[in-house]
Amino acid sequence: MKFAVTINEGPYQHQASDSAYLFCRAALEKGHEIRRVFFYNDGVNNASSLTEPPQDDRNIVTRWSKLAEDHKLDLVVCVAAALRRGIRDENLAPGFRISGLGQLVEAGIEADRLVTFGD
């Protein structure tokens, strides 16, 4: 089955990104396809390459980058939401790309299920 996922909150402050990550990983393990992960609202902050958590904490950003690399995931950051919050190509972590809101709608159309994680 084709899933799409939306994340509306940034890393660390809320559990949304963690829950979404574990959901995606479990879906991939079960042989499902993750059609796209779309980052919206403060969720765009999940794509910041400037993120530097303490060493004994999980690195939410690199974890997404790694999952994207391993499974060829399409991690899309909303351009309008990103510009509002200072996320641009210069500080975009590997595996993420910045694009329009149309990518969210398209994911909703193409995927069998769209799951939203937020506050």
Partner 1 sequence: MSEGAIKKFMFVNRKAPYGTIYALESLEVVLITAAFDQDVSLVFMDDGIFQLKKGQQTKGIENKNFSPTYRALDGYDIEKLYVEAEALTARGLTEDDLLVDVTVMSRAELGKLMDEMDVVLSF
Partner 2 sequence: MLHIVNKSPAERNALESCLRVAQDGAAILLIEDAVYAATRGNTAENHLRDALSRFKIYALAPDLEARGMGDRVMAGVATVDYGGFVDLVAEHKNCQSWL
How far apart, in whole angstroms, are the C-alpha atoms of residue 3 and residue 111?
A: 5
Strands 33-39 and 2-7: parallel
Question: Among this protein's residues, is 24 annotated catalytic?
Answer: no
How far apart, in whole angstroms, are the C-alpha atoms of residue 18 and residue 69?
A: 18
Q: Is 26 in the site for partner 2 (CB under 8 A)?
A: yes
Quote the crossing angle between the two packed helices 16-29 and 60-71, to the nearest 10°. Answer: 20
Q: Is 39 in the site for partner 1 (CB under 8 A)?
A: no
Name residues contacting partner 2, limited to 100-119 (CB under 8 A).
Answer: 112-119
Q: Is 88 in the site for partner 2 (CB under 8 A)?
A: no
Q: Is 45 in the site for partner 2 (CB under 8 A)?
A: no
| Among residues 3, 11, 34, 41, the one that binds partner 1 under rule CB under 8 A | 41
